[in-house]
A = this chain, B = another copy of it.
Amino acid sequence: MAKIRERNKELIIQAASEIFAERGFAATKTIDIAARAGLPKANVYYYFKTKENLYRSVLESIVEPLLQAATPFYDDSDPTIAFKSYIRAKIRISQQHPHASKVFASEIMHGAPHLPDDIKAQLMEQTRRSSEQIEFWIKQGLMAPVDPQHLLFTIWASTQTYADFDWQIAAVTGKEKLTDKTTIPLPA
């Protein structure tokens, strides 16, 4: 039955996100993913064929939200509103997909060795278009003349740091686990 298939694939991707986020691709054993999903290891291979495929599926699960996050740059002609929406969306992603978000960060940090080229291209194109729009706003005098790319880097760094370095932040603040209120209150 197709329902079982979908349910199991979802269970496996969820378990895989968590363990890949904790340990990284190479340090993760498929048997541990299977155990956390409550299934035998062979099922993981039955559904995903290889460990690498499974890892890519986790990466792909976060790419759609990431691409979606940049739409304010195209919909809106007001930079104040656009940046507010963009930053909100980025923080939401860190909160709603903390594991996949971290897997993605780790992947980028190590030079994206497993990220498919077409996804790389989409993300690059999105960044290019966003920079272009920022450039346009600057030319129109709607915002301060900053380097668009470096502005984006700063936004990425500050919105992702709470998801990526959650262990460090929990350790320093003395919390067991991060909650909504540990992190940045979202602008209304």
Contact = CB atoms under 8 A, between A and B. Distances in A.
Interface of A: 22-27, 102, 105-106, 108-113, 120, 124, 127, 149-150, 152-154, 156-158, 160-162, 164-165, 167-169, 171-173, 184
Contacts of A120: 171
13 contacts: A24-B24, A24-B26, A102-B109, A106-B109, A106-B110, A109-B165, A111-B167, A120-B171, A153-B162, A156-B161, A157-B157, A157-B158, A157-B165
Majority DSSP secondary structure for residues of A touching B: helix
A11 B57 CA distance: 39
A24 B124 CA distance: 24
Given A154-B158, A158-B158, A167 B112 contact: yes
Contacts of A26: 23-24, 26-27
